[in-house]
Structure 1
Amino acid sequence: MTATAELATPTYLDERLAHWARETPDAEAMTYLGRTWTWAEMHDRVRRLAGALRAMGIGRGDVVSFLDKNHPACVELTLAAASLGAANAIVNFRLAADEIDYVVNDSGARVLLVGTELLGQVEAVRDRLTHVERVVALTPDGADGDEYEALLAGADPVDRDPAVEPGDTCLVMYSSGTTGRPKGVMLSQANMVAHTLNAHDGWAFDPGDKNMVSMPLFHVGGSSYVLFGIHDGVPSVMTRDPDGASLAGAIMAGANRTFLVPAVLAQVLASGDQAIAVFGRLKTYCYGAAPMPLPLLRAAIQAWPDTDFIQVYGLTEVCGVITHLMPAEHRDPDHPERLVSAGQPIPGAEVRVVDVGTGEDLPVGDHGELWFRSPQVMTGYLGKPEATAEVITEDGWFRTGDIGKVDADGYVYVTDRLKDMIISGGENIYSPEIERVLAEHPAVAEVAIIGVPDDRWGETVKAVVSLHPGQEATEAELVEHCRASLARYKCPSSVEFLEALPRNPTGKILKRDLRAPYWGEWDRRI
């Protein structure tokens, strides 16, 4: 943290932006696709957007929504909506049209900002978006005719609504749910401010540093991480896509601190000496949101001896990060085993390891479900009080659904997953959603979706199916069947055919048995 950032703890999401607009108005705040905004300019845009939203009738308790690839407008919308007591529901731009329909309707969004590249997806389901009163289109480059830029130019700026409270929801991030449909995770301003302060522990921006924001903003790792630069008054370089050329361009433009999924490391190391040299300019490489194969991590540590590596573990329901493994621990010859840990809880976080059957706390070193308590714990799942009650106890503990242990030194090891979730390249993929689609294929008798290890993505989706007697289907046919209804990243990358799936005496499919042959030689399973 820069010395000038030692300020009173903020209460609201837009406080630090207002501070830097006052203190360093002409300094660089954000660069994106060749455009740069100062702190004063960015603050003015947020205030104008708040004015435009208010003119549309948006206020406390309302929801607006954003659908595009990475774009500073998403951050502006989050800050502007929060200042009115409203929330931004950020939609995964990789979703199919039917999935967009579900998320936007479930959130109750009244205003939808959508990138022109994705406008066709929205138009295909526009008549089904029952709550949306206005759609505003925006272009990647803000060219003439950009409806969003025109909206800002014609709006009167307004300050934060005095009725807004820290507990007001400011973000709705969609995470997979028990029915196979995503659940809207409600994160308050107090949640997000706490995360910015606590997950920031151990970071040390120096004068001249720039923050690279490349994680998708629909992912909590993107929308939480972008607040680091705003908190410290450090300029951010945002990429529209997390592809190699965009990342290298941002680094060449001076970005030297970042958070990315492990798959990027694999891609860079496989790209040759020139790519490795470019990424060697990074002072900090924070990674998480997917399993990191230990050989890949060791290769990265060796390739970039001057880079500080920080591993983080967390969930959308805690705003992102809840434990971290710091740089010194990545290069500690006395404790190499800690490389497969998730580190220690961040400030403000408590951890318990609980017996799944009895609910009792387990001794040090025993495996059980990981529970966390923190001011970062979500306020709940949107419109789903029963699902909320299942994961948040009356005394505020969040049940992660992940299995792990804590050692005598307080290091958390995450080893398996109670939730039937696959994490591929940082994307949460929920198996029943895919199973529901595959089960509709006429040849499929039964199906189980599992995650299998992948050197690039951490995990990929594998379908294990049995067919009805006399029926035939190919792997390509089943994958294509999924692609008609699901985002491509959710679709199986491989299909295995069995005569029958293994089941326990009560008839439940034994997914652990299906996964076991693939995970035997891996150091971590999450």
Structure 2
Amino acid sequence: MVWKSLTQTWHYLEKWAETKPQADALAFENERLSWGDFKRRSDLIAKALLAIGVSHGDRVAMLSAARTEFLTTFLASGKIGAMWLGLSPKFTLNELRYVIGDSQPTVLIALREFMGNDLSPLVKPLMKEFSCLKKVLVIGEPFEGAEDFHRFVYQERPERNEELSQRSTAVVDDDPTLLLYTSGSTGKPKGVVHTHKSIVENIKIEVKKFYFDEQSRALIHFPINHVAAVVELGFAAVLAGGFIFCMDRFDPGESLQAIQRERLTALGQVPAMFLLQFRDPQFAKTDFSSVKQFLWAGAAAPRLMVQVLSQIASKTGATLITGYGSTEVSGFVTYTEKGDNSDKLIHTVGKIAEPFELKIVGPDRLEVKDGDVGEVAVRGPFLMREYYNNPQATAQVMDSEGWYYTSDLGFKDSSGYVHLTGRASEMFKSGGENIYPREVEEVIESHDAVLFAAVIAVPDEVFQEVGWAFAMLQPGKEVTDEELRETCKTRLAKFKIPKRFFVRPLLPLLANGKIDKVALRAEVKEILAREQT
């Protein structure tokens, strides 16, 4: 059987459906699928896509949240050589127009309703504007021009069995299978193309580093257009043969209930999610005894978060793991190790996982010595094929030797651990001196009243640019501007100390849990405009 090579995403669904067909695989709300159910549904979807006329290399778009259909359609698309594309139901019509226009999908699968909002006003204009859409399928009550997803796909279609066999046999490891659009914080979103090989080769390493196995039970509440949902957690559980519990949104209280009710073993989140759970009244009563791994990435962890999770882990034996990666590298490529202390968990993102490669380079892309700040570059089979329809952007970040230049700045210490100092686009010069915002933010976050900090470069007549710092308070704590300034004076050169401090109970956050620096920059412009009038 072709799937036994285990070199493509859908191969692992075949493996577990054959070896443990009755075992739990996937759940959402009250719906539970065994591995046998998972494969049957995925195959029915694959045959339905063939009936629609989806060809090898076509795109299958899904406007949805994390639920059973997102993984069944993802693996079905890969089995017939198509590319699956996740879209967030929180996108605006213009955001959807851009992605649909760029990717030109053959099929759009959409929720009818999300968080009380009817999505048909978003989908109907897309149906009119994009002739590439051969079929629109709706999960929920269909509307004119669309069909009911479940009624359409869950037909046997025995006449398509031979075609499915032929199409799946024709798929090769280097075929594209996943298209994810980046957030586009510095311009229009770019479509990241991943192949079966890039996903499988990365996740084979990740499941070892995360200690995932057949007994693992993971929670997914990330948006399905995020690499964490599809790859880092979703496909990782499929490859390991574990169980996946889906939630269609992040809710602190409901996620805590799910941990206890479903006896989840792996909790992978961004720091902001952990902090919101800490604030929930249920947190102190939650039974975390089943959790074996607390995992995070996407932003630096505040000391409070690591302290609280460490206290839980000291009682349960759980492991705390963080790392570094991106959409372009199919998830994590660096990891901390079991037993690493709090300083490493707070201030580093671990070491590059063997056999992957990482180097820190200067502006000339030549490697710099340990301790020197430069751009993080990585190489390995995890790397995306390209940015979709964007060869110029691809050439800017990938060289002929297979290195990907991340635009993230950092340095390696003597033990090989990577310390991130910010994005290349965030570094600024003040009076001729380089300032790395992350270095300053870490100092501000070391104050016990601060959860998160963000440093923004602001134009200055004398120094060219200076830093303004925004600090988000810990619940129930207070701190003055002057106290934060004094904290900075003890650990930073004078030119690195922000010229102004803004202390807030909340800072704007992105869906991935990072501080929304675009919103803060807009606020800075407004402040400057007011002060100049």
Q: Output the TM-score relative to the length of structure 1.
A: 0.76
Contact in 1 for aligned 2:376/2:407 (Cα 8 Å): yes
Count of matched residue pairs: 433
User: How do residues 381-420 of structure 1 correspond to structure 2 at under 5 angstroms?
Assistant: 381-419=387-425
Residue number in structure 1 paired with 2:256? 248
Identity of aligned residues (%): 24
Offset of residue 280 of structure 1: 5.4
Change (3 A) 1:338 1:233: closer
Secondary structure of the 1:329 match is: coil
Contact in 1 for aligned 2:374/2:410 (Cα 8 Å): yes
Residue number in structure 1 paired with 2:109? 113
Offset of residue 207 of structure 1: 6.4
Deviations 1:223-270 (A, max 9, x none): 011112211221221112121233123211222212111111111222
CA distance in 1, matches of 2:271, 2:289: 15
Contact in 1 for aligned 2:79/2:171 (Cα 8 Å): yes
User: How do residues 38-437 of structure 1 correspond to structure 2 at under 5 angstroms?
Assistant: 38-117=34-113, 118-139=119-140, 147-156=148-157, 158-159=164-165, 160-177=167-184, 180-205=187-212, 208-224=215-231, 225-251=233-259, 252-272=261-281, 274-275=283-284, 277-279=286-288, 281-305=290-314, 306=316, 307-330=318-341, 336-337=343-344, 339-356=346-363, 358-419=364-425
CA distance in 2, matches of 1:328, 1:339: 13
Residue number in structure 2 paired with 1:519? none
Deviations 1:332-376 (A, max 9, x none): xxxx355310001123310111002x2221011111000000101
Check if 1:30 corresponds to 2:26.
yes
Residue number in structure 2 paired with 1:495? 523
Change (3 A) 1:19 1:249: same
CA distance in 1, matches of 2:128, 2:204: 42
Offset of residue 218 of structure 1: 1.2
CA distance in 2, matches of 1:245, 1:131: 41
Change (3 A) 1:297 1:404: same
Deviations 1:185-219 (A, max 9, x none): 00111011012101222333466542222222210
Unaligned runs of 5+ in 1: 1-6, 424-447, 457-487, 502-526
Secondary structure of the 1:135 match is: strand
Change (3 A) 1:326 1:452: farther
CA distance in 1, matches of 2:12, 2:218: 16
Contact in 2 for aligned 1:16/1:231 (Cα 8 Å): yes
Deviations 1:283-330 (A, max 9, x none): 211111223223332233224423211102111000111111133114
Deviations 1:80-131 (A, max 9, x none): 1111111011112221111111111111111000001123321244322342
Change (3 A) 1:293 1:9: farther
Change (3 A) 1:23 1:148: same
Q: What is the root-mean-square deviation of aligned Cα atoms in Å?
A: 3.1
Offset of residue 10 of structure 1: 1.7
Q: Output the TM-score relative to the length of structure 2.
A: 0.75
Change (3 A) 1:98 1:241: same
Which amino acid in the other structure matches residue 495 of structure 1?
A: E
Change (3 A) 1:377 1:206: closer
CA distance in 2, matches of 1:292, 1:123: 42
In the TM superposition, structure 1's runs of 4+ consecutive aligned residues that sit over 6 Å from their partners are: 448-451, 488-491
Change (3 A) 1:146 1:450: farther
Offset of residue 167 of structure 1: 0.8
Offset of residue 401 of structure 1: 0.1
Contact in 2 for aligned 1:268/1:276 (Cα 8 Å): no
Contact in 2 for aligned 1:404/1:416 (Cα 8 Å): yes
Secondary structure of the 1:347 match is: coil
Unaligned runs of 5+ in 2: 114-118, 428-436, 439-465, 475-514
Residue number in structure 2 paired with 1:440? none
CA distance in 1, matches of 2:426, 2:360: 19
- Which structure features the higher share of helix residues? 2
Higher relative contact order (CA 8 A, sep 6+): 1
- Bigger mean CA deviation after superposition, 20-29 or 365-374: 20-29
Deviations 1:153-175 (A, max 9, x none): 22425335222111111110001
Contact in 2 for aligned 1:364/1:406 (Cα 8 Å): yes
